[in-house]
Amino acid sequence: MTTNAPDRARVRLENISSRAYEHPADRGALVALRSLRGFDEVFKRLSGLFNERALRLMFLSSAVRVNEQQFPEVYNYVRDAAYILDLDEVPELYIQMNPRPNAMAIGSSKPFMVMTTGLFDLLDPEEQRFVVGHEVGHILSGHAVYRTMLLALIRLAARVAWIPLGYIGIRAIVTALEEWYRKSELSCDRAGVLAAQNPDAAKRALMKLAGGSRLAEMNPDSFMEQAREYERGGDARDSLIKLLSLMGQTHPFAVIRMAELSRWLDDGSYQRILDGDYPRRDSDRDASVGEEARNAANSYRESWERSEDPLVGTLRDVAGSAANTGGRIFDSVAERWKSAGGRRNDSNNAGSAS
């Protein structure tokens, strides 16, 4: 299937690179992985252990494939998102009977998307458009390959849980991939907004993921205040609980997603992309691994400095004090070194004069 024009006027982001919307931590990890010669091919072969063909057949037999005759409006959203984000083909989408709200993009050679009825029934049309754009963003970023591998590793970890060393090794990899996975979700919230070009619908969708369908009972400003309160935390115990609560989580919490998306919208990044100021796909090969790693580090540092979490604040103060102490120690050693060098020079000069 080839892409066609969207069903209503939106800005087409021709030749857009996924780097335009990817979270720095997500982008840094992906650029580094893709820079390894043959890594993608090896990864795809490994993901074959998950048996993509069997996975697709499972949904083909037990879910409804979206097309012009089945869920035609949703099919238009998929076609529209593929056109705006300039994909070569329209990916398949399956609607699965499952009351739990969820959507995913999976596969390697030909990724496809799945949306549960729990999520479909929860959202209005514009919110569905945002979710579809979010999943198309995963495909454009190449996330589906790595996400499929994460699912395979999670299953493998469950099977070898009785082997302590094997489980610990796999669990370490899974934990690292889960951290990347959470950042990839932040990236594709941005992709969803770019595809739908309706920020309010994106915010509504995130609120519904937290509080259900009764949108009239919710307020975006109050929801944002929740995010600020969560980021501040109560005391060190709350901070520890927050860290522990992320274990096994592949998605950031809804309030965090709302806050991150709002920051991205407010800093002008969204509008700049719509105005045509974005990296093009044909320049991806020139992306610098070092630059992306620095951007990722800067992102974590800004998040660290912005955080009002008490534990983070304490660690920040300790780190700052350590840095200051280290600086003073370095200055003291440097002064002593200079003084010692000066005394040696004076002694040498005196010896040569005699």
Q: Where are the domains of the chain?
A: 18-306, 310-337
pLDDT (tens digit per residue) in 226-264: 988 887 766 656 666 666 566 656 677 899 899 999 999
- The model's pTM: 0.73
Q: Residue 125: its pLDDT value, please?
A: 97
Q: Residue 179: its pLDDT value, please?
A: 74
Which residues in the chain show pLDDT less than 50?
Answer: 165, 167, 304, 309-334, 336-337, 342, 344, 349-354
Question: For residues 22 and 30, what is the distance between their CA atoms, to the nearest angstrom?
Answer: 10
Q: Residue 350: its pLDDT value, please?
A: 45
Q: Residue 31: its pLDDT value, please?
A: 62
